[in-house]
Amino acid sequence: MGQKRLKAVFMRGGTSKGLVFHARDLPARAEWDDIFLAAMGSPDPYVRQLDGMGGGVSSLSKICVVGPASVPGADIDYTFAQVSVTDRTVDYAGNCGNMSSAMGPFAIDEGLVARPPDGETIVRIHNTNTGKIIAAHVQVRDGETEVGGDFELDGVAGLAAPIRLDFLEPGGAKTGRLLPTGRAIDLIEVPGFGVVEASIVDAANPFVFVLAEALGASGTELPKTIAANTVLQDRLEQIRLRASVLMGLAATLEEAAAIISLPKVAMLSAPGPSPTLSERVLQADETDLMARAISVGQPHNAIPLTGALCLAVAARTPGTVANRIVGDGGGAAIRIGHPSGTITVDADVAVVDGRAHARSACVYRTARRLFAGEVYISQSK
């Protein structure tokens, strides 16, 4: 059957990894799904993706396609694809904030933007999945992305140069509205359990936030504990599916089940002692709220970056479950505790004529090019 070779760069972006392609090196869009599945080694019933570049979890099964900007004010276009580990599914519904942090460095090192001077340069990224602009502040030395630095990112070993991401006008990324239902709190009926309060928020990516205690959880569980609790996972999935219909992403629960990546769902809890994957225990004074997220059906080892940004916006939006925990915060940045540690985010939300409007949300990440070359695509896949 033979193999096809395609030029690609393998990059870490934040707490994710994925293949990055130039749009010019790919065939017609109709052929992308088969190529991306084969490149990642999906579907894999063994959940390891050993026959591809994937790592067996959603955060390591990602594809980015970069090309010339198609809108004014942007430097590049960036399309994100979430490749399922176990199914023949490639989802373009939303963006990946972590891989967004790799797009500025990619554009600089691939010569897609003018060779910048030493210091900080800004790459304006048009994410085609959401239609939003992301301003990446990247450190440059000798015309190339600076890798070394003193910034520590929980979930990634070692230190690196920080990359600031400003998500501009992030509200309504998929639905056109920051609060798609028009309400800060919705009541969702979970079959066999009862009614649960939820905040459905669409900023950077649509998310559904619920209080952990409302589901009989503590909100400090580690991913393996959540994965083993099939009852809790089912409750979260039922909430996710019903929120999808409420926010207009799907017309039926069956349609919602076919959209594996959106909306995502997260349990929230107030600050308190919380174990991490590194066996360090976060103390209450280290965080402003705790989050446990589910991404593509799997408990996340940290929190999706777009989820952290959406949560920051939610925390600044009056009346949401996140806002109840954080309050006004005195204007300080928001520290979110997650299974790998903490992430600091912030958002600028204004209430105009009784409606919340998100002006921006920002976060710091790191990224690194791991290799560049050719990825082999098995024709038998």
Q: Say which residue the tokens 């204004």 belong to.
A: 350
Q: How far is CA 109 from the centre of its chain?
A: 23
108 phi/psi in degrees, rounded to 5:
-70, -50
d(CA 308, CA 203): 10
**What per-residue confidence (pLDDT) applies to 332?**
79
Domain boundaries, the chain: 3-162+366-378, 186-357
What is the total residue count of the chain? 381
Same fold across 3-162+366-378 and 186-357: yes
Task: Encode pLDDT of 67-95 as tens digits.
Answer: 999 999 999 999 999 999 999 999 999 99
pLDDT at 330 over 70: no
Q: Which CATH number fits the domain 186-357, given the four candidates 3.40.50.300, 3.40.50.1000, 3.40.640.10, 3.10.310.10?
A: 3.10.310.10
DSSP string of 231-277, one letter each residue: HHHHHHHHHHHHHHHHTTS-SSHHHHHH--SSSEEEEEE-S--EE-T
DSSP state of 84: P
- Predicted TM-score (pTM) of the model is 0.85
Closest Cα to residue 64, out of 48, 56, 53? 53
pLDDT tens digits for range 182-201? 999 999 999 999 999 999 99
Q: Out of 3.10.310.10, 3.30.930.10, 3.40.50.300, 3.40.50.2000, which CATH number does the structure's domain 3-162+366-378 have?
A: 3.10.310.10
Cα dihedral value 311, 313, 318, 324, nearest 10: 20
Phi, psi of 9 (to 5 degrees): -120, 135
3-state secondary structure (DSSP) of residue 132: strand
